[in-house]
Structure formats: structure tokens, C-alpha cells
Chains A and B, each alone.
Chain A
Amino acid sequence: MHEHEITREIFRNFPLWMQVVFYVVAFSSIGVFLFGAWKRIQKYRKGRPAGRFNKLPQRFLKVLGIMMTHATLRKNYTYVGVAHWMIFWGFVVLFIGTCIIAFDHDFLRFFGVHLLKGTFYIVFSLFMDVFGVLFIIGLVMMMVRRAKKPFNLNYARVDRPEGKYDRSGYIRDDKIFLWLLLFIAVTGFIIEAARIAADGFPEFEKWAPFGYAMAHLLKSTGQLNAIHMATWWVHGIAVLIFVAYIPYSKAMHILVDYANLMFADKSTAKRLPRVPAEKMDKEGMGYVKLEDFTWKELLDFDACTKCGRCHYVCPARTAGAPLSPRDVILDMRMYADQLSGTEEWIDKQVLTNGGKAKSIAGDVILPETLWSCTTCMACMEVCPVGIEHLTTIVNLRRALVDEGEMEDMLQDALANIGDYGNSFGKPERMRAKWTKDLDFKPKDARKEPVEYLWFVGDYASFDERIQERTRKVATILHRAGVDFGLLYEDERNAGNDVRRVGEEGLYEMLAEDNIAALKSAKFQKIFTTDPHSYNTIKNEYPDFGGEFEIYHYTELLLELIRQGKIRITDKLKGIRVTYHDPCYLGRYNGITEPPREIIRALGMELVEMPRNRSNSFCCGAGGGRIWMDDSGLKERPSENRIKEALSLGDIRYFIIACPKDFAMYSDAVKTSGNEGKIEVKDIIELIEEAMEGAEVTAEA
């Protein structure tokens, strides 16, 4: 070695046999890695097509952007986002650096080329040093966080008691992962420091400032070359262990999650995948075997890092129901691994339910777990790695429906919808009975052309408390000169929640009937007060040949206020209110501002709840939960939400823009003992109060 050449020696002072040993170990490690990765790829190949291979460059670049900014990771979690950013980029830079060394030493060398010298070496050194330090800081930050035992990282299950499962494997792997990486990083610096000290502190090594500083600490020890050699081996072996460990542990997310984000498609929640007609005809609707899942769903199961964000936001979990979206994914991973020989040897849980699972929906994921889901989509919204929990849950519910396995209340609701087109079990001709108490008769869009077809929905049509609000909407629109009509008894339940329950055959029937009725009516646009109907008509009916332009009533009302067709007084000015975003309006369809603008137009002081817009908290009624028994819950999600509103202090109105929400929250105010403290109001009631002129609604 020449004293002053700006470079470093690879395999410094290594006899040949040591180099040979190193390469043998390195290739074995890479072999173990490739075997594990290949087994996983074999597993994904078992899945059905997911149709996600289009626009590959855009997908790749999109995720590159996410990686640069850590947008999904730092959302609501700044500390974690920063720590992970440092670990991630530390890892990437150190990995690239190692690759450059390998490329330089094991390839270019044979062509007489040497890259790592001079300025290039200095830049390289600086980068490796700085990112090495960031890497260590990130790891230590994560260790500190784990030591504080945050709720998200508590792996306790909600569906079975302690003792019936063992997740110490998860905790052990968390420790292995962090400590192994930290060990690799620290030993890397020691090697560098020992080398710098042994070489007598060459000037250019100051570009590795942290290694240089550490070298000063080491220089008095004397045995610098021995320290270098020993640490080099310890470090090298640790790195190679890590490489081999990746596909068998939580480190797998390094490989899987970039792909999972690339192929993620959140729109599968608002537009659920259809059951292929052939499958529906021959086998049934639901997923019953591993091959029924798409490869993206199988990838989802491996993508989970147990960050616990879905576990934290889930309204079912919050309410004490036996559902954690995290555990659905982890249990499916365990099941898929058992069948594919990809079992995680280190990062694993053990369930003591005895014997092998016979059915996925039933044994692997308990029926009560699947039925607890409100399909509010909060889990998908917060998942930083693009997991689509909902398609898995709905497809497993479909398997339960295939077997007729459901509670009586839900069964009655579905039977009613099948027989009468509504969940209330009322005759079809009663659907428009609510119009009887109006002082005008809404047009029949089947008979005369209208501008707007009002798709009323079951709750707004049949629930007596809500009918009153439905009439207010009708009267105000009539007064404002809106040309609208109804389908009368030809309207059916839109099917949004029937579909999410898993009754796909019934859903198809409803969608086909509604589309036929809509097509035979004469109108330009649709509006509805019901976010659930809105979602399925807008996003799912096109798959069945029904393309319609649809608006939520808050959009329509805002437009009328802006046009001056509804004239607002300052009667409600200054009243403190809060607004609840319905899941299917805000999170699903991004309509968060029209209701807020109406509230502001009324002059009220809008105070936001901590969980608002896409982060809104479900009322607990979605996904068919409104047809199921919720008496077993510790605290209904709606009651939790009312408490959140009350925590804002002195709020007069809890404003909603969804018929089901009116039912849910009116009940919740009573059952949580908060009557008189806060009042649930449909936004239409406030418009009515603030409007010019007298009371507009003809009461029953």
C-alpha cells in the first residue's frame, strides 16, 4: 500500500485463504437469500392475476417519490417517519456503497480499472460516513420508541385470550432486526476507525469525519491491525447473516414493500372486484383456498410490518370487537406460509387452536372477526405499505355467505332485500310513502323527464325519524326550483352494503334492477343523500353497464346557495358546531369540502374533531354492520365519536350528511347519556333554519 494514495485497501492484510473463506461464506449466504426469495415468489405465483402490470414505469416512479419523502410513513407519525427515513436511506446508501466496492474489486479490477480512489473515494467516504451515522441514529430512535411500549406495537390479540397464542417470536424478531442492524453499523465504524488509526491518520480520511473521530479513541489501544481484522470478520459475518435472514423474517419488508406499494390500488375498496361468472356458477362466491387469492393479496400478507396503524384506527377494534385488520393480514400470512413452505423461522406466531385449519373463513379467520368489519377503509387509508385489507375481508365474507353462515338479524335483512328490495321488509309500493306528507307531489321520473333523479335509498325512505329529514330535502329543493323526480317503487336498495356483506349474487340482482330502472327513466343527473348509494352507483354500477353522473346532496345544496336560489340569513351565525365525515363520502370519495362550505356559509363556527376528513372515524354502521347485533361491543364506535365531539367543549350541533349517521348518532347521544349536551343535526335541518322565509316543511 502506498502511503499517500487516496483509497482504501480491500481485504487489508488478508491472506489468500481468508479471502477464499470469505467468498465461500458470502456465496452461501446469498444462496440462502435467493432460496428464500424464490420460495416467496413461488408463493405469489400461486395467486390469481390481479391486473396490475400496466404503467410499470409510472408505478415505479410513484413509489420512488414515496420513498424519497416517506409520505405514507410519516403521515400522522413524524417521529417514526424521520427515524425510518434515516434507517432507510442509511441502508440504501450503505448498500449501494457495498455494491460499488464489490463491483470495483470483483469486476472492474480484472479490466485494470480502479474507481475508488481520488475524489470519487472522498465523496464515497463522506456519503458512507454521514449515512452510516444517520442509520445509527434512526435505529436508536426506533429502539427508544419500542422501549416506551407504544399501543401500536402491542401484539396482544383481540380475538382470543392470552395463552391461546404465542407471539413472542414477533417480539424476538423485532429485537434481532434492530440489534443486528445496529451491530453491523457500529462494527463498520470500528473497522474504519481501526484502519485510519493504523494507517496513521491520512489527511484525506478526514472526509470520513466520524470514522476519523473514532480513530482517535482507538489509537491508544495499540493492537489496531488485530482489532481491524477481528472486527472485519465479525462485521462481515453479521452482514452475511443479515442477508440470509432477510426472506425469513420481518426484514422481508425490504423486498416486498416496494413492490406492494407499486402495485397497490386503493380503489379496490370503493370498487370491489367482481366474482368471475364462472366461479359464481360453479364453486361459489368466496375465497376458500389459497389459489383463490390474487397474487397482490398474497403479497399484501407478506408486506405487513406490524406497524399497528390499522390496529389503532380500526373502529371495530376500538369498540372491543374481535377484529384487528393487522391480525387478519398476519394470520393469512401464517396460513399462506404453512401451505407454501415459506414459514418464517424467526418472525412467527403460534396458535394453540390444535390441528390444521379446515376453512379459511371460519378457522383461520374467525367468522365473528370477519363480521365485525364496518368496511370503513380506515385501515387501508393509514397503511403505509399499500395493503388492501378490504378485498380479503369481503372475499372471505363471501365464503361465509356461500355457506349461509351469518347471524339471524343479517339473514333477515338480506332476505328482506331479496324479497322486497329494502332491508326494512316493507312492501315495494311503500317506498315513496314518505312523500304523502309533502304539500306537492315529486315528479315520477319514469313518466316525465327531470333534470335530477333523486336516488333516495332505504333509510331515507323507510326510517321514520329520517323520513322527516328526507321531506325537508324535498321541500327545500322544490322551493329552490330544482327539477327532480323519483323512481318510486322501482328503486331498490342500491346494494353498496349488501355487496360488502359478501352477498354478491344479491348485489348483482339489485344493481341490475336499479340500472334497468334508471335507464328507463328520463333524467340528466342523479343525486342522493346517502353516501353508500353514492359510492356504489358512482364506482361500481359502471361495471354492470350503468354509467351515471351522480352528486351528493351537499354538493347540490352548496351550488344552490352559491347561485342564490337558497337564501341564507344570519340566524345561525356564530354557533359552534362540528361535522362528521361519512366514510363513504370523505375517505372513499373525497367529498369533504362541500358540507364544510355550507356550514361556513351558514355563518357557524366549525370546530374540527381530531379525526376528520380522510381520517374520520366510522359510526359503526357500514359494511352491513347496521343489520347486525352490536350489543356485544364494549363501546359503540358512534358513542366513541360523540365523546370525541364533546371533548371539543361546548359544541351545540353534531352535523351529519348521511341518513344512517342520523340514526346512529341520535342513538349514541342517548345511550352515552349525553342528551341535552349536544344535538345531532342533518345539514338540511340547519339550512332550513337559516333560510329566508317561514318553516318550509309540512310535518306529518
Chain B
Amino acid sequence: MNIIVPIKQVPDLVEELEVDSSGKALDKEWLKFRINEFDDHALEEALLLKEDLGGTVTVIALDGDDVDKALYTAAAKGADKLIKVTGVDAELDNHKAAMALASVIKDMDYDLILTGVQAVDDLDGQLPVLLAEYLGLPHIEVVTGVKVDGNVATVQKEFSGGIVGEYEVDLPAVLGIQAARETPRYVPVAKVRRAMRSAEIEEVSANVGDVSSALAVERMFKPETGGGAEFLTGSVDEIAAKIVELIKSKI
């Protein structure tokens, strides 16, 4: 069972986010980056499957902020192979990202691709879909459980209202993971340090041609706060009169 897990680095939301002077992007100077939470779940699910069935887990990421640290952490958790895809600037463009990943993955040997259903910085849920499309594979999104039997995976998908759907999908396939069976594991600092010394990151350059989402950020800003609230005081009649007046003034 060989599993590929594409991961992505996203801004750490613990830090206060600032928009840069262009007004179209985050000010990166003070930002910390960490693995996208859903990708962390995809990695956990992959590691659990590997523990059950054997095989390998390959973690692949586009080059970017603090990406080495994320890859080494994955190795410390139990990933067998680390790949960094260079030569592509796909920030917030999942068409480009998916094409870059697909161009590297298509020549690899794998049974399953698990990745986060979405990332906190794009919230479009498109990456798994596009990746499946470019690789010509079936895909299922918002997955909360995976069981593999031979060449078939039984996949659970959680709907609103606590209803769970169960699907069967032929392998290989792309699954967009919402949550792993278990909380992503803790990896002790010593293991990460060890991985930094011993694990190797393979660098592969990719060319995505002119693939693009054709979307551009127009403006990035913090939600504008409302004008505040006013407390009306007085007797019931007085308050009623004030309300009538307010409504009249708005019409």
C-alpha cells in the first residue's frame, strides 16, 4: 500500500494577520507558517493505513515558507519519502498547484493519494478535485474514514446533521480528508531533530505551463466593524416613539 500525501504550509492563525501595502496579500514578514490542519489529518490517516497494511507514505509539498520543517516533521512521524516540488509559484492558485503536483506524481508508483479537503488560506476545496482530474483518477471529498481491502477503498463521508455516507472506490484514487480516525500524533522534538539529520528531501522541479485559475485577488482587508449599538432608554412609550422615529428616518 503506497500512499502519497500532498501537504501545504499555511499562515499560523495564532499570530495577528496584517495586510501588506499592496492591499492584496498578507504581510509575510512576521508570519509563522505551519502545516495546513487538514493535510495533517491526511498524513495521520496515511500513517494509520500504513501501520495496518504496510507499504510506504510519501509526503510531497510545493516549495514555500518553512516547508522543509513540515517535511522533516512528517518524516519524524513515520513518512518514508519526502519530495519538494520547486520552480512553481502557485500561491492561492490551486489549478497551478494541482498541475505541479500531478506532473510529479504521475510517474510515481502509488495506490492512494490523501490530502486535506481544503486549506485555511484558500477555502475552495478544489485541490483534491483538480489533482484527480489531472491524474485521471476518481475522487471523494470530505472524507472522515478510510478502509482499504485489496484494490477497493471503503470511504466514509460525513454530511450535515450527523448522516454518514459510505462509498466504495477503486484504487488508485484521490481522497480529500476532513478528519483522520485519530488526532494527528505528537512527534517529540528529538525525533524531528533526528529526522533533520537523517531524512533526505528529494527536490523535483515542475513545469506547469500556462495552467491557471485565472483568478486574481482584488482586495484583502479585515472585515469592517459595524457602527455600534445604541441603547434606547426611557419608559415603554418613549422607547416606542424613538423606534418609530428611527424606522421613519431610514425609509
Shortest CB distance B51–A (Å): 12
- Assess the A402–B191 pair: CB atoms within 8 A: yes
Of the candidates B12, B183, B197, which one forms a contact with A411 in the assembled complex, judged by CB atoms under 8 Å apart? B183
- Assess the B186–A505 pair: CB atoms within 8 A: no
Task: Provide the bound-state CA to CA distance between A285 and B188, in Å.
Answer: 9
- Assess the A401–B16 pair: CB atoms within 8 A: no
- Assess the A503–B14 pair: CB atoms within 8 A: no
- Assess the B12–A419 pair: CB atoms within 8 A: yes
Contacts of A414 in B (CB 8 A): 186
Contacts of B189 in A (CB 8 A): 418, 503, 505-506, 508-509
Task: Provide the bound-state CA to CA distance between A508 and B183, in Å.
Answer: 26
B34 close to A (CB within 8 Å): yes
Contacts of A425 in B (CB 8 A): 14
- Assess the B14–A401 pair: CB atoms within 8 A: no
Q: A408-B183, A411-B183 are in contact. Are A284 and B16 (CB under 8 A)?
A: no
A209 close to B (CB within 8 Å): no
Task: Provide the bound-state CA to CA distance between A408 and B185, in Å.
Answer: 9
Interface string of B191-213 (1 = CB under 8 A from A): 11110010000000000000000
Segment 560-587 of A: residues with Cβ below 8 Å from B: none
B15 close to A (CB within 8 Å): yes
A426 close to B (CB within 8 Å): yes
A406 close to B (CB within 8 Å): yes
Shortest CB distance A484–B (Å): 29
Of the candidates A402, A420, A505, which one forms a contact with B14 in the assembled complex, judged by CB atoms under 8 Å apart? A420
- Assess the A411–B194 pair: CB atoms within 8 A: no
Q: A425-B14, A427-B14 are in contact. Are A285 and B190 (CB under 8 A)?
A: yes
Task: Provide the bound-state CA to CA distance between A284 and B77, in Å.
Answer: 13
B187 close to A (CB within 8 Å): yes
Contacts of B186 in A (CB 8 A): 401, 404, 406, 411, 414-415
Q: A281-B194, A425-B14 are in contact. Are A503 and B188 (CB under 8 A)?
A: yes
Shortest CB distance A318–B (Å): 29
Shortest CB distance B199–A (Å): 14
- Assess the B190–A505 pair: CB atoms within 8 A: yes
A458 close to B (CB within 8 Å): no
Shortest CB distance A76–B (Å): 39
A504 close to B (CB within 8 Å): yes
Task: Provide the bound-state CA to CA distance between A402 and B188, in Å.
Answer: 6
Shortest CB distance A220–B (Å): 78
Could you write out 27 A-B pairs with CB less than 8 Å apart? A275-B190, A281-B197, A284-B190, A401-B186, A401-B188, A402-B188, A402-B190, A404-B77, A404-B187, A411-B185, A411-B186, A414-B186, A418-B189, A419-B12, A419-B14, A420-B14, A426-B14, A427-B15, A427-B16, A503-B188, A504-B188, A504-B190, A505-B188, A505-B190, A505-B191, A505-B193, A509-B189
10 tightest Cβ-Cβ pairs between the two chains A and B: A505-B190, A505-B189, A404-B185, A411-B186, A506-B189, A404-B186, A408-B183, A401-B188, A280-B190, A505-B188
Chain A interface (Cβ < 8 Å from any Cβ of B): 275, 280-281, 284-285, 401-402, 404, 406, 408, 411, 414-415, 418-420, 425-427, 503-506, 508-509
Known: A281-B194, A285-B190, A414-B186. 11 other contacts (CB 8 A): A281-B197, A284-B191, A406-B186, A411-B186, A419-B32, A426-B14, A427-B14, A427-B15, A503-B188, A504-B190, A505-B191
